[in-house]
Amino acid sequence: MHRPTRRHFLHSASAAALAAPLGLSANMQNPLFAKEAASQVALGKAEHCIFLWLGGGVSQIDTWDPKRVTKDGLKDPGSAYPAIETAIQGEKICEHLSRTAPLLDRAAILRTVHHNAKDEHTAATNQMHTGRPVSGTITYPSLGSVVSHLRGSAGEGVPNYVLMAYPAPSRGPGFLGAKDGFVYLTETESGPKSLTRPQRVSDLQQARRLEMLHQMSKSYQQRHPADRQIENYLEASRQGFRLAGPEFMQAFQLDREPASLRESYGDEFGQRCLMARRLVERGVRFVEVTFNLNFVNGTGWDTHREGHHNQHLLIQSFDQAFSTLIQDLEEKQILDKTLIVMSSEFGRPASFDNAGGRGHQAQAFSVVLAGGGLRTGQVIGQTDELSRNIVSRPVSVPDLFSTIYATLGIPPEEELYDVERPVPVTDRGHPIAELLG
**Which range marks the domain in which residue 377 is found?**
37-196+244-435
> What is the percent of the chain where pLDDT is above 70?
77
| pLDDT given for residue 175 in this prediction | 95
| pLDDT given for residue 305 in this prediction | 85
Mean per-residue pLDDT for 141-149? 98
Q: Alpha-carbon distance 234 to 238, whole Å?
A: 6
Residue 369 lies in a domain: yes
Quick check: 377 pLDDT over 90? yes
Quick check: 160 pLDDT over 70? yes
Pairing state between β 83-85 and 92-94? antiparallel
Residue 283 lies in a domain: yes
Quick check: 98 pLDDT over 80? yes
Residue 275 lies in a domain: yes
* 164 touches 290 (CB < 8 A): yes
Kindly report which listed range (91-100, 126-135, 157-166) carries the lowest average pLDDT score.
Answer: 157-166
* 404 touches 131 (CB < 8 A): no
* 278 touches 248 (CB < 8 A): no
Mean per-residue pLDDT for 272-279? 96
Residue 289 lies in a domain: yes
- Please report which confidence band the pLDDT of residue 186 belongs to, taking 50, 70 and 90 as the band edges: confident
Residue 219 lies in a domain: no
Q: Alpha-carbon distance 153 to 214, whole Å?
A: 24
| pLDDT given for residue 194 in this prediction | 54
Angle between helix axes 203-223 and 228-243 (nearest 10 degrees) is 160
Residue 416 lies in a domain: yes
Better-predicted residue by pLDDT, 75 or 21: 75
Instruction: Give the pLDDT confidence of 335-346 residue by residue, as tens digits.
Output: 999 999 999 999
Better-predicted residue by pLDDT, 134 or 24: 134
Mean per-residue pLDDT for 247-272? 90
Residue 352 lies in a domain: yes
Mean pLDDT, all residues of the chain: 85
Mean per-residue pLDDT for 86-114? 98
Mean per-residue pLDDT for 376-398? 98
The closest of 215, 216, 145, 212 to 176, measured between CA atoms, is 145
Mean per-residue pLDDT for 201-210? 61
DSSP class of 294: G
Instruction: Give the pLDDT confidence of 12-33 residue by residue, as tens digits.
Output: 444 433 333 333 333 334 444 4
- Please report which confidence band the pLDDT of residue 251 belongs to, taking 50, 70 and 90 as the band edges: confident
Better-predicted residue by pLDDT, 12 or 389: 389
Mean per-residue pLDDT for 112-122? 94
The closest of 432, 395, 339 to 147, measured between CA atoms, is 339
The closest of 309, 301, 361, 386 to 73, measured between CA atoms, is 309
Better-predicted residue by pLDDT, 220 or 381: 381
| pLDDT given for residue 242 in this prediction | 55
| pLDDT given for residue 215 in this prediction | 67
| pLDDT given for residue 296 in this prediction | 82
Quick check: 403 pLDDT over 50? yes
CATH number for the domain that contains residue 135? 3.40.720.10
Residue 28 lies in a domain: no
What is the tally of structural domains in the chain?
1
Quick check: 364 pLDDT over 60? yes
Mean per-residue pLDDT for 230-244? 56
Instruction: Give the pLDDT confidence of 31-52 residue by residue, as tens digits.
Output: 444 455 555 788 999 999 999 9
| pLDDT given for residue 36 in this prediction | 52
pTM: 0.83
- Residues 6 or more apart whose CB falls under 8 angstroms from that of 337 comprise 45, 46, 47, 48, 371, 372, 373
Q: Alpha-carbon distance 184 to 292, whole Å?
A: 14
